[in-house]
Structure 1
Amino acid sequence: MSLLTFLPFIVLIGAMFLMTRSAKKKQQQAANMRDSMQPGTGVRTIGGMYATVKEISDDTVLLEVAPGVHAVYAKNAIGAVLDDEEYNRIVHGDVPGEEIPAVPDDASSLTDSLTEGADEGRVDLGKKDADAETTADAAEDETVSKDSKTDGEK
């Protein structure tokens, strides 16, 4: 028998070896990730739910899914252990290093225009809204003219 006869079998066995090795490596990484969990850590379950770890036992994890709401999950149901910055960014919408001002910079101009017209019972929406209104009127006129052309063609 020649080597060419056994070549397909050798290639098949090599491919199976590489696939099982890759799968074992991923399982080991997942196990290490789950072992790195500690109470207070943010996690994402395999179902996509974000929660905070409260207690860890041998096979289960107690998660706080909302303030005062706890659920018991299997450790294998944890899909990712998140660092604090990422967890806060996803769950709370926090952006690190960026403070949200209490009053936006452009709020004073809006407040001024609202108070000017308040005595007369009208509100000046400002130049931006007036321009948007003019654009909307022009678009409406164009639509009406197209509709009347279409009606005339029928």
Structure 2
Amino acid sequence: MSLMTLLPFVVLIGAMVLMTRSAKKKQQQAVDMRNQLQPGSGVRTIGGMYATVKEVNEDTVLLDAGPGVDLLFAKNAIGAVLTDDEYNRIVHGIEHDLKSDVVPDDASSLTETDEPSDDASSASDDKPIDLGKKDAADDATDEPAEAKADEGEAEPKKTDGESDAK
């Protein structure tokens, strides 16, 4: 019986140990990242400011935030070290050449020719198809009045609100 009363406590202690291990692992990764800072690296601070590392000291980092703007931060304030492509994209707006990385959805771009083809893609040059509803006035112009009278029994036109229910 004493084992059953201790089981919840053992499970709780085990969960706490696992959670602290993962937190310590993340904390150690952050310390390693901050210790590997080098001048010229692009960084993001925990406050969201982007800058370039100018000088690294034991507990502080001197950041270049723009022309003539040098800021001294604690190493703990560095949130992430960015890759050169990511830093240039965010700070300078320089996009990486994405065309070389894009894979087409279909093979049509790989087999294009200069000659126009006779398939469905050339139909886009034709008159657009109207898929809208026709008005009652359009229905009257589509079929002559004499043809409607020859059909035999003609039903009166219904207006909005009327129905066939009796």
TM-score if structure 1 supplies the norm length? 0.62
Shift of 1:2: 2.3
Distance 1:87 1:30 in 2: 19
Shift of 1:98: 6.0
For the aligned residues, what is the CA RMSD? 1.4
Give the aligned partner of residue 95 of structure 1. 95
Shift of 1:35: 1.6
Give the aligned partner of residue 68 of structure 1. 68
Distance 1:25 1:78 in 2: 18
TM-score if structure 2 supplies the norm length? 0.57
Instruction: Give runs of aligned pairs for residues 113-152 of structure 1, distance below 5 A.
Output: none
Which structure: greater helix fraction?
Answer: 1
Distance 1:44 1:82 in 2: 7
Give the aligned partner of residue 36 of structure 2. 36
Give the aligned partner of residue 24 of structure 1. 24
Q: What percentage of residue pairs aligned between the two structures are identical? A: 72
Instruction: Give runs of aligned pairs for residues 74-93 of structure 1, distance below 5 A.
Output: 74-93=74-93
Shift of 1:67: 1.5
Shift of 1:57: 0.3
Q: Which has the larger radius of gyration?
A: 2
Distance 1:14 1:88 in 2: 45
Shift of 1:97: 1.9
List alignment gaps of at least 5 residues for structure 1.
Answer: 100-154
Aligned residues between the structures: 99
Shift of 1:37: 1.0
Distance 2:95 2:9 in 1: 54
TM-superposition CA deviations, 1:66-94 (whole Å, max 9, x none): 12100000000000000100000010111
Give the aligned partner of residue 115 of structure 1. none
Distance 1:47 1:25 in 2: 23
